[in-house]
Amino acid sequence: MAVSKTKLVLIVDDEPAILKATLTGLIDRGFTVQGADGAEEAMKAIHKMKPSIIVSDLVMPGTNGFELFQEVRKDKEYKSIPFVFLTAVDDYYAKKFGKELGSAAYITKPVDLDELERIIKDKIGE
């Protein structure tokens, strides 16, 4: 089944190689994807494009993924956008905190594109 071109996936990661690999992998699977190399760029993209889902790294310089999630949730216009943490932090308490915040999913790197695709399709109604 083809993925709708009107639904945008925003990928946020400060590691260029991981950002590029994730973007390419999702584009190859038919998704419309935008990348951001940190929280500041992500907030600009969110305001400009209002993505259908946000997939964010957790550990980034400046504003981390948890803080980005909380910033996005402050604005009622973006409150309903599903938010997925994609991170190298494989820690019980970080996962628990992410779920308590209200994230749609918490998955660890290296990224399993099959799992990420399934989560995205599930959360944006594909």
Q: Quick: pLDDT tens for 13-31.
A: 999 999 999 999 999 999 9
What number of other Cβ atoms are within 10 A of residue 6's Cβ?
7
pLDDT, one tens digit per residue, over 66-118 is: 999 999 999 999 999 999 999 999 999 999 999 999 999 999 999 999 999 99
Q: Taking the model in full, what pTM does it have?
A: 0.92
Contacts of 99 (CB under 8 A, 6+ apart): 106
Q: In this structure, are residues 60 and 78 in contact, taking their beta carbons and an 8 Å threshold?
A: no
107 contacts 115 by C-beta, under 8 angstroms: yes
Q: Grade residue 126 by pLDDT with cuts at 50, 70 and 90.
A: low
Q: What would the pLDDT profile of 31-46 be if each residue is shown by its tens digit?
A: 999 999 999 999 999 9
Q: Give the residue from 14, 27, 86, 30 showing the smallest Cα distance to 54.
A: 86
Instruction: Look at residue 97 in the predicted model and tell me its pLDDT.
Output: 93
Q: How far is CA 50 from the centre of its chain?
A: 13
- The full set of domains in the chain, from first to last, is 8-124 (3.40.50.2300)
